[in-house]
Structure 1
């Protein structure tokens, strides 16, 4: 495998460590020994290197994800701001589809509101009115997060470098315009089979999911890569994330919006191994 960047600087080394974990399908140690726990610039520099590598390999960007929108999680990691990662086309999973657990490392599921943009957010004041007008519609969503860092031993720097600990996302139905649906008023329940395992509401996401979208719009423009029409934005978890294993079926319900679900199954190799172990 080619090195992601020449030289031995800390950012390139961190990117290479995460890239190797993905390629080898083995979680790696945290990268904060290389870039620090709270060096925002260094963490996003690692993420940018990994994004550039994916684009060079033919990946297509479909939007962004926002993370660390919960005050409780921010306090846990000692940060006072959310973070973001990049969504790619091959991260999209159809509503109700089944995901092979073996393609992931240590997956967890969280429910959130996704916004699909109908206009660019590149110019203008990016105030509340402009943000609302730019949203074509909202849909219920599941994000399947997955850390390349062993045992989810992450700080702010680790998760930002690791593309916001992202893996896959699922968009549900139906689509609602903001004249039909008010994100901050939404209530969410996430069920595993028939048991509710997570719950929350729109206010849990930076006080309002549209506030999270506004933060991302300004941040993305500041870094020179503004949000564009047609992109999907996962606005942040409405409740705690839940670990996923083979056999799990998750369904999220967001009031005023709709439902979205995903299944997890054992990979062919895992299934064969389990059959051999029980023989």
Structure 2
């Protein structure tokens, strides 16, 4: 049965994003809510945000690792938009006050060189449509109390997006195997996580193909210039003001972010 109060739920999330006051998970009141319900709320929420003048500059995939899929009881990733207002560059200062309960993840980001529309997109076609890949970090955040989320909740909440930090160095994908790109993440000079590209759906390029095929169901495609965040390479790290993060990627270089009040 289709979810009935889509606009009310979207408005509640919109206000939580604006005020940074978390709300109770939707699935607390109705545990039957699932992925389709979450995307219905997400769509309404995105319309509200775009009406404020924001833009969609790409998409993020979440739940691209098997442990995360197992934790939420799903067999596929989820997705949400990357908003223009959430973009930071290498070395930027980022205010912790923009978020409710932020966590940081290092990821490989793909930059689209040409449009890509499903259905039926293969990994090879996805690679051919990409202009290059780059180092990135994602700050995930939850507008639900204490990250107490189930699948519907995180999908509705734009796949728990918060912000992204993008390197300006985009490396051509030719002769690169994204699965083999290693990464080490440090906080204030101390190692906190390691990972490799294969953590993202077995192959980050497969995430791009999956997104193109999944978005096609809504008549949407990946466009030239879009960024595609392909998913965390490690468990998310809680972050707070006063910390500096450095993610160093094989072949892609490094990227840093300074968290301030």
Q: Specify the alignment match of 2:43 in structure 1.
A: 48
Tell me, what secondary structure is at the counterpart of 1:141? Answer: strand
Change (3 A) 1:245 1:36: same
Change (3 A) 1:37 1:201: farther
Q: Quick check: 1:75 aligned with 2:75?
A: no
Tell me the CA shift for residue 184 of structure 1.
0.5
Q: Which residues of structure 2 form unaligned runs of 5+?
A: none
Change (3 A) 1:35 1:256: farther
Once residues 86 and 44 of structure 1 are traced to their aligned partners in structure 2, the CA distance between those partners, rounded to angstroms, is 11
TM-score normalised over the length of structure 1: 0.89
Question: Paired residue for 1:126, among 121, 125, 136?
Answer: 121
Change (3 A) 1:37 1:140: farther
Q: Which residues of structure 1 form unaligned runs of 5+?
A: 1-7, 267-279
Q: Specify the alignment match of 1:5 in structure 2.
A: none
Which digits, 9 at most, give the CA deviation of each residue in 1:196-227, with x for residues without a partner? 11111111111110111111110011221111
Once residues 215 and 35 of structure 1 are traced to their aligned partners in structure 2, the CA distance between those partners, rounded to angstroms, is 29
Trace 1:17-96 onto structure 2 (pairs within 5 A). 17-33=12-28, 36=31, 39-96=34-91
RMSD: 1.6
Q: Specify the alignment match of 2:244 in structure 1.
A: 249
Work out the number of aligned pairs and report it.
Answer: 259
Indicate if the aligned counterparts of 1:37 and 1:155 stay in contact, CA closer than 8 A. Answer: no
Q: Specify the alignment match of 1:176 in structure 2.
A: 171
TM-score normalised over the length of structure 2: 0.95
Which digits, 9 at most, give the CA deviation of each residue in 1:214-269, with x for residues without a partner? 11110011221111111000011111110111111011111111111111111xxx
Trace 1:138-157 onto structure 2 (pairs within 5 A). 138-157=133-152
Once residues 22 and 207 of structure 1 are traced to their aligned partners in structure 2, the CA distance between those partners, rounded to angstroms, is 32
